Every structure is written in structure tokens, then in C-alpha cells.
Amino acid sequence: MTADPMRLDGLVAVVTGAAQGIGAAIARALAAAGAKIVIGDLQEATAVVIEIEEGGGEATALVIDVSARSDVDELMEHAVARFGALDILVNNAGIDAPPGNAWDLSLDDWDRTIAVNLTGAFHCSQAAILKMMSAASGGAIVNISSHVAWLGTQGISPAYNASKGGVIGLTAGFAAQLAPHRIRVNAVAPALVMSRDFGWSQDEVAGYERAYSLGPGDPSDVAQAVRYLASPAAKWVTGSVLYIHGGFRRGGPLL
């Protein structure tokens, strides 16, 4: 019987922003596939760690800020100290788009959005590859972008578009330079994922549902895409962006 190429048995995965929502779903999916999970988040992720452990997996978590390089270095050191390796990095940590348009976007909102969503992914990737390059087996990095890298809308900060577009550029650059070191770098760019209650009216929800042929996504949809890109099943995939959008049609709401 052929082994499942999407199994991650024995591999160590760092997942940022995994205390809730999409990140928590990613952590659970990778753990279910056999990976040992290390969570880094601004919030306590104890509940996710307990859930993974109760399911028979192994997990640990640190409270960190991905925009602070010293925190990121501590996270990667913790992963290696706890589990002996670092094989997978998922750059999921990010902040939602603040309100704003081109003419009223504040510099503070711009700086913080770029610092977390883009510079944070850079910090984590660079710190992780220094660990991965020392291992003959290489590794895999999966960055979480968004379809707002290509599409804009009124009232949502262009800083968010820029940060998620920058993640795609970061993916391409790192993938090209790290291939000789057997480190694959890819991105997932989801459209609307119902990761929490957004406080929308019934009419607003109906509008979003009409914009997606398959309806809005669930966090588990992103998690399974990440699992694929992190797994041996994607051993010939690097520098790619997996756009998952449920059949989104431009003309309806963007998110």
C-alpha cells in the first residue's frame, strides 16, 4: 500500500497567528497529519495546544510579536529546543485591513500593517531558513497572502493590499534563492473565509454568498491547501501561489 504523500509524520511545523481562526485550523490540520506544532501568536494559544494534545498530537506555544525580530528568533529557537528540528513554517500571522482610502490612510496604519503582514513574514522566513539550511532534508515555507493582492475596494486600506501583494513577491524571491537548499516556498491566497462573526447584516451576508459560486470559505479550506503545500505531495512545487476563491466573481463584494 502506497504511503499517503500528504502525511507529515515527525515533522516540526511553526505556525504563526494560530491562536484562533485560520491559523488555528492550519495548526489542527498539520497536527492531524502527524506534525509537531509550534504556535507563535500575540494571544495565548493554550486552548489550541490542549486540543491538539487531546487528539494525540504534540504542540507548544509562545506569545510573540512577528514584527519584533527578537521575538521571532526566540520562537524558532524554541521550536528546535523543544522538538529538535524545524521543517515547516506557515506565515499566517497578520492584522485585518484597517479602514481607509488612498486619501485618508494614516501613516501609523500603513506602518503597522506592513510591519506585521509583510515584515513579519520576512522575519519569520529568514529566521526559519537559517535553521532549515543546516538540515539536509531542507524544508517548506507557506505564506498566507490574499486575493486583495490583485483586487482593491473602497473603504479598505491600500496598506492591506500592499502587504499581501508584498507577500507574493517575498514568496517568489525566497523560492528562487532557496531551491538549491531544498527549501520550498509557496503561498496560499484565499478569498473570503468565514473565520469569525464579522457582524454583518443578513443582506450583507447574502451579498457575499452571491459573489461566490461555492459560497465563502471555511478556515479548514485554507488549512488543507497549506497542508498540501507543506507536504511531500508538493515536492515539485515552489514559487507558486495557490489562489483559492470558491468561484469568486468580480462585481460582488470583494472580501
Give the list of residues 6+ apart from residue 33 with CB closer than 8 angstroms, or none.
6, 7, 8, 9, 227, 231
**Grid coordinates representing 152?**
482593491
113 and 95 Cβ atoms separated by less than 8 Å:
yes
**Grid coordinates representing 105?**
490612510
Q: Which residues are catalytic?
A: 160
Distance from C-alpha of 198 to C-alpha of 167, rounded to nearest angstrom: 24
Q: Is the dihedral of CA 28, 227, 122, 255 positive or negative?
A: negative
Give the list of residues 6+ apart from residue 57 with CB closer than 8 angstroms, or none.
31, 32, 35, 36, 37
Distance from C-alpha of 82 to C-alpha of 37, rounded to nearest angstrom: 10
Ranges assigned E (strand) in the chain: 12-16, 36-41, 59-63, 88-91, 139-144, 183-190, 241-244
**DSSP count for the chain of H helices, then E strands:** 8, 7
137 and 181 Cβ atoms separated by less than 8 Å:
no
